[in-house]
Every structure is written in structure tokens, then in C-alpha cells.
Amino acid sequence: MSIKKLLYVIIPIVIVILGFIFIPPYFENRINPKFDQGKMDEVKMRNEALYQEMIANFDKSEEAIRKNPSDSGAWLNIGVISDTFGDEELAEKAYKKVIELEPTSFFARSNLAALYLRQGRYAETESEYKTILANNKADIQTNESLARLYASEKIGTKADAKRVLEEAIALTDDATLKELLAKLERGEAF
């Protein structure tokens, strides 16, 4: 075999090998190795289009942050996607970054509170709920969440839950909050 023919065989093989060595993200989970594969598979199984959109948004958000580290929308996307796919550490970091950039961000604070609640970090959950309510005392969702936290007695008491619900009802006259208060007064779980 001539040298020329040998080069035609060897060069493509070398290029492929170098590609696998120097460009591995294209041949493996290129998103985030800390993502829980089971959670990723669950999202993919429920909705393939949503899964693909989340991966594309994660990539776009990372690129946006590289261009502008103060892009709070990109940080929020990173937080939500990381949270969905099980990287709680990155999700927390991203939510805190959004809060640093936009201290009154409802979405970042409520997602961070939900993350803390899942982790059993009840004092931090309570703190986030209270901060949200300091910015919007009439927020029904947050008042309900804080009342549920207190009613669970993981932190606070049922009396605290009653107080939160009564104050929120005075501001909002919300039927759902009234129903929760009635259940609490009857001693029912909610």
C-alpha cells in the first residue's frame, strides 16, 4: 500500500479520535452532569417537546449569562431547569443570583422557598415567604403556603396559620383562604 493511500485511511481515523477527545460534550450528556438522569427521563417521557425546549433554553441561558452575567431572566431559566432536573445546588445558586439582581422577584423567591421546603429547610422557607409578603401582603398563593407551613407545625403553630389566613382574608376576601381557615378551625388537615 502506498503512503498516499495509507494517509487517506489514517487521517480520517485520527480526526475521529481527536474529535472524541477534544469535543466530548457532543457525545455525552452535554447539559449538566449533576442533573438527575431519572428526572430528565421523566420529563422526556411526559413531554418530549418540553424536554427538548428545556435543554435548548438551558443552553441559551448559559450563553446569555456568558454575554451578560446580570441577565436575571437567564439565571431564572437556569434555576427552574436545574430544579426540574434535580440539580438543587445549581438551582439554589441561580435563584439567589436572581434575587441579588432583583430583590423583589416573586418567581425566584417562591421557587427558592419551594426548594427549601422540599429540603426540609423550614426557617429559610418561612423567611422567603415573609419576604414575598413584605412586597405584596395580598399574595394569595404565598399566604396559603405560609399558612400550610405553620399548620404543619414544622415551624410555627396552628395559631400562626390562623393569624396568616385571617390577615390575608381581610386583604383579599379570597374564598380558598376562607375555606382553609374553616378547615383549620374545625381541626381538619389541609
* pLDDT tens-digit readout, 64-74: 999 999 999 99
- CA 165, CA 146: separation in Å to the nearest integer? 9
> Residue 1 domain-assigned?
no
> Residue 71 domain-assigned?
yes
Q: Return mean pLDDT, the chain.
A: 87
Same domain for 91 and 146, yes or no, is no
Domain boundary among 102, 117, 139: 102
Same domain for 98 and 53, yes or no, is yes
pTM over 0.85: no
> Residue 108 domain-assigned?
no
Q: Is the pLDDT of residue 138 over 80?
A: yes
- CA 190, CA 179: separation in Å to the nearest integer? 10
- CA 142, CA 131: separation in Å to the nearest integer? 10
> Residue 20 domain-assigned?
no
Contacts of 4 (CB under 8 A, 6+ apart): none
Cell of 85: 432536573
Counted domains in the chain:
2
- CA 78, CA 165: separation in Å to the nearest integer? 33
- CA 113, CA 84: separation in Å to the nearest integer? 15
Contacts of 59 (CB under 8 A, 6+ apart): 31
Q: Is the pLDDT of residue 7 over 50?
A: yes
Q: Are 116 and 134 in contact (CB under 8 A)?
A: no
| Weakest mean pLDDT among 22-26, 81-85, 126-130 | 22-26
Same domain for 189 and 130, yes or no, is yes
Same domain for 88 and 50, yes or no, is yes
Task: Specify the pLDDT at position 25.
Answer: 41
* pLDDT tens-digit readout, 167-178: 999 999 999 999
Q: Are 149 and 129 in contact (CB under 8 A)?
A: yes
Task: Specify the pLDDT at position 3.
Answer: 65
The residue-averaged pLDDT of 83-104 equals: 96
Structural domain including 87 reads 36-102
Output the domain CATH number for residue 45: 1.25.40
Same domain for 80 and 141, yes or no, is no
Where does the chain have alpha helices with state H? 3-22, 37-46, 48-67, 72-84, 88-101, 106-118, 122-135, 140-151, 158-172, 175-186
